[in-house]
Amino acid sequence: MSNSELIAIFEKLDELLEVERKILLTGKLEKLVDLLPQKEALIDTLNTTEHREKDMLTQLDAKVRRNQLLLDSAMEGIRTVSRRLAALRRVRSSLETYDSTGRKQRIEIETGSNVEKRA
């Protein structure tokens, strides 16, 4: 592989990492799926070639790590929302109180959809 071809691959991957960053910052995580095949192909190509472009690799590594931190933060946000929604579901289906000795007790609430209609 010629040096110009290698530089073109570095540039494409650099652009792709910037697009990935923008997607992560906007929260449109479903769009990451579209980038994955291109990203994998470019990285596989770089892994199979001999190159001495250490500066370019260092720059790409920094961007990959930056994007990974953004992705980790997004995943933590999703987990937080999921835990909060689970807590809200528990609140709707039960009531937690304390008895006279200070022990926590849970009262299950039936959430049937029995609606009495009167004319």
Percent of the chain with pLDDT over 90: 45
> How high does pLDDT run on average in the chain?
86
Answer yes or no: is pLDDT of 118 > 90: no
13: how many CB neighbours lie within 10 A of its CB? 21
Residue 56: band (very low, low, confident or very high) from pLDDT cuts 50, 70, 90: confident
Residue 17: band (very low, low, confident or very high) from pLDDT cuts 50, 70, 90: very high
31, 23 Cβ separation under 8 angstroms: yes
pTM for the structure as a whole: 0.69
Q: Which positions ≥6 away from 92 have C-beta within 8 Å?
A: 109, 111
Predicted pLDDT of residue 99: 85
Rounded Cα–Cα distance for residues 39 and 31 (Å) = 13
Angle, in degrees to the nearest 10, between helices 3-26 and 54-93: 20
